[in-house]
Structure 1
């Protein structure tokens, strides 16, 4: 990340050490080392750290890890995502909230850890997240995480309050917006939760193994809007795969993995300024 972009979007939301000597390395350089770990997917001790004049590494990898954990515990990563990317995109009129696309994705965990479950559909043990994005492939709300054996449909009702809180904080209106989801989220509770927030669901009816069509009035559904999902939320998940740290979950602590995922979504949102 360039220094100008770092000072604008990242530096105002970082916390500093309260004790001990001041770091000799700039926070911009430390943040770029964290991004290298996110993009390369290597171990912390394998980071390509530059050498100083004496031929020694300019910083020890454990200090980079401790700095990242402190920023994650202090809420700096979440603040960078919200204030540094989402709010900035809204101020620059780069958000298109007329249609909101949502979907879930599952990550396999090879080394175990917390917040995990075996997904019989994916045939793997891991965790899943439900993310929401706008029509311009910008992740607009903090994602909802759960073990891999959880059904995605109830998770949407946990994601909607975060969506409305985000819109209220940045001053954006969601009244009349269309929420496009796949058939997994087709249930009365999800449709009611979307309607109660002034939005319109665009969800194809899930037959659930019925041999005959369901009786009653057909739900509103626009196939053209549904087809946008493959150019928006599926593209976001494809961009997420370029961050090799997120292809497989090797962090046993889920908060560390989710901090990396939040940072990846921030980088996807900041692509407009690169």
Structure 2
């Protein structure tokens, strides 16, 4: 069964040793890579993946389009989005993702990106450290896909 008490968002940079359509050089990995975004349930079961992106882009590149792909996959599978708690690490701390989550009634539990100056205002941003610790399930799941 699916455990939707929280869902996890993460990206995976994978070397594209045999080439492909969506590859780009990633200096950090010293290789041509591809990047994909995934949603997993609270047990690490993959729920959805977005279209691959060239690896020279970071995880928030074209995030609005990719997040729509992920959410549409769950909607088509009759998985309700309203009320889900979405965990994501600090690289996903951006206005676009928070707005998309709000529009879909998803509670965004995203670690604060200290380099973001956009959120220096006085608005309260929800963050639950204990819930955030559940992110390790998607890290383990992504390790199996590499």
- Deviation of the 1:217 alpha carbon: 2.6
1:72-103 Cα distance to aligned partner (Å, 9 max, x none): xxxxxxxxxxxxxxxxxxxxxx0122311011
Q: In structure 1, which of residues 134, 137, 144 is the aligned counterpart of residue 44 of structure 2?
A: 137
Q: Could you say if the C-alpha distance between residues 115 and 169 of structure 1 is closer, same or farther in structure 2, counting changes exceeding 3 Å?
A: closer
Greater share of strand: 2
C-alpha distance in 2 between matches for 1:111 and 1:199? 38
C-alpha distance in 1 between matches for 2:110 and 2:145? 24
C-alpha distance in 2 between matches for 1:158 and 1:203? 19
Q: In structure 2, which of residues 139, 143, 146 is the aligned counterpart of residue 238 of structure 1?
A: 143
Q: Could you say if the C-alpha distance between residues 184 and 162 of structure 1 is closer, same or farther in structure 2, counting changes exceeding 3 Å?
A: same
Q: Secondary structure at the match of 1:214?
A: coil
Q: In structure 2, which of residues 93, 102, 123 is the aligned counterpart of residue 217 of structure 1?
A: 123
Query: What RMSD over aligned residues (CA atoms) do the two structures have, in Å?
Result: 2.2
Name which one, 1 or 2, has greater alpha-carbon Rg.
1
TM-score (norm 2): 0.86
- Deviation of the 1:137 alpha carbon: 1.2
Unaligned runs of 5+ in 1: 1-93, 242-274
| Equivalences, count | 145
C-alpha distance in 2 between matches for 1:142 and 1:110? 21
1:11-160 matched pairs, under 5 angstroms: 94-160=1-67
Could you tell me which residue of structure 1 aligns to residue 132 of structure 2?
Answer: 226
- Deviation of the 1:151 alpha carbon: 2.0
Pairing 1:176–2:73 present? no
